[in-house]
Amino acid sequence: MRGMILDLDDTLYPRADFMRSGFEAVAQYVAHSWRLERDAVFFTLSVARATGLQGREFQFMCEEHRLPLSVVPALVDVFRAHQPVLALDGEVRRALRALRREGWTVAVLTNGDPAVQRNKIAALGLEPLVDHVLYAEEHAPGGKPDAAAFEVALNRLQIPPSRCVAVGDDPVRDIGGAAALGLRTIQVLAAAATGRVEADAVVAAFPDVPRRANLLVSETADAA
């Protein structure tokens, strides 16, 4: 009996891929609606994000291309509703299959607008590779790190916290939330990241998770 609760964004795939896909959809919409150059709009959105304007990319684009700010809500709707173009890395896919072969029961527990997250899950083809997919904000206000979100995942897994490992990139939502319920934790921390680390183990990328998770569960069993 071994369970694993996985984060989605920046754990199983790079969230930057979703942002790029969304910007492409918005650029196509703007080009069609206002007869602007699609590539120029996409470039402006990308520059805005790369230069520290996260969350204000659409406003910046409107200012640069002389569009009224009143169109921003429509751009947000396009971004959220678009069908993302995403691909799951082959090594991540193999790691997920290895976990299932080794007897892990696996649940994805993801924050974010459930409709948007469902589109990501579908685009990545994740459902056949895990046992459960759960949308945290359907079970707790704001989703993780609320204990209720993790409790729903544990109930689905039907495995006690002491036999479960949570994997994610966020030190508060993923790691802190899971640790508060007694789960062992693995933080996926890219080499360039500077966030604090409070997890039981750290890996540079998800394909390293199966080995580390097996070690953590073995250590827990030995301690018991």
User: For residue 221, what pLDDT band results from cuts at 50, 70 and 90?
Assistant: low
139 Cβ partners below 8 Å, 6+ apart?
A: 148, 149, 152
Prediction pTM value: 0.94
Output helix, strand, coil percentages for the chain, rounded to the nearest 5.
55, 15, 30
Q: How many other CB atoms sit within 10 Å of the CB of residue 153?
A: 26
What gap in Å lies between CA 10 and CA 206, rounded to an integer?
9
Q: Which neighbouring-strand residues pair with 132?
A: 107
The candidate with the shortest Cα–Cα distance to 77, out of 46, 49, 113, 50, is 113
Residue 193 above 90 pLDDT? Answer: no
User: For residue 220, what pLDDT band results from cuts at 50, 70 and 90?
Assistant: low
Class of domain 2-14+87-223: alpha beta
Comparison of pLDDT for 4 and 218, the residue scoring more: 4
What gap in Å lies between CA 15 and CA 21, rounded to an integer?
10
Residues 10-63 have pLDDT tens digits of: 999 999 999 999 999 999 999 999 999 999 999 999 999 999 999 999 999 999
pLDDT at 197: 67
CB-count exposure of residue 47 (10 Å: 0-12, 13-18, 19+): middle
Q: Residue 197 has which token pair?
A: 């680390």
pLDDT at 195: 57
pLDDT at 11: 97
User: What are the residue ranges spanned by the domains of the chain?
Assistant: 2-14+87-223, 16-81
Residues 53-97 have pLDDT tens digits of: 999 999 999 999 999 999 999 999 999 999 999 999 999 999 999
What gap in Å lies between CA 33 and CA 22, rounded to an integer?
16
